[in-house]
Amino acid sequence: MPQPFLVAASDVRVAEPLDIAGDIVSIKVAGKDTDGRYTVMTGWTPPQGGPPLHVHLTDAETFYVLEGTFMFELDGVAHIAETGSTVQIPAGVPHLYQNVGDTPGRTVLVVEPAGLDDFFIEFAVLLKTPGGPPMEQVAALHAKFKMELLGPPVALRG
């Protein structure tokens, strides 16, 4: 049975803060803490940073913007999310986000069910591959966690 606990502002529950292609992800509540029901993470995203277009086949994500201005593309539609905004992304919706501000942005992310925390731990290791990881390994890791890559991040679009 899950036990109560406190994670201080500067602490993480699992691993250390993870560098995911320039975004820093900190796991505050891991899936193992909730019997796999959900996970809670914080993110720090540099200006113009953000993930590629992707879809979670089984996970729903809820972002709360603590600081900054983000553009979220949800199923092809762009939305601006400023400090205090909440973005709900059901499973199966293609999406990405980009910090469109001039300063780093911070978010809280709740994912249900858990598993994205384990993905980020494995992905952070894979990203340390000298010369960058082979794309087939990146795609295989996404598939393992029931995600698909669909396109580049906004910063790399032509």
Count of the separate structural domains present in the chain = 1
What are the angstrom distances between the C-alpha of 70 and each of 7, 47, 144?
Answer: 26, 9, 28
Residue 1 covered by a domain = no
Q: What single-letter DSSP state applies at residue 157?
A: -
* Residue 82 resides in a domain: yes
8 within a domain of the structure (yes/no): no
Residue 158 lies in a domain: no
The per-residue pLDDT for 9 is 87
Residue 73 pLDDT = 98
The answer to whether residue 30 sits within a structural domain is yes
Q: What CATH number does residue 55 fall under?
A: 2.60.120.10
Q: Considering only CA atoms, which of 116, 121, 108, 97 is closest in space to residue 47?
A: 97
HSE of 119, CA atoms in CB hemisphere, 13 A: 21
CA torsion, ordered 121, 122, 125, 128, to nearest 10 deg: -110
Beta bridge partners of 82: 69
Domain assignment present for residue 7? The answer is no
pLDDT value of position 148: 97
Range of the domain at 83: 14-147
In a domain, 154, yes or no: no
Q: pTM score, two decimals?
A: 0.94
Do 149 and 133 touch, CB atoms closer than 8 A? no
Alpha helices in the chain (DSSP H): 116-126, 135-144
pLDDT in tens, the chain (158 residues): 778 999 998 888 887 999 999 999 999 999 999 999 999 999 999 999 999 999 999 999 999 999 999 999 999 999 999 999 999 999 999 999 999 999 999 999 999 999 999 999 999 999 999 999 999 999 999 999 999 999 999 888 87
Report if residue 3 sits inside a domain: no
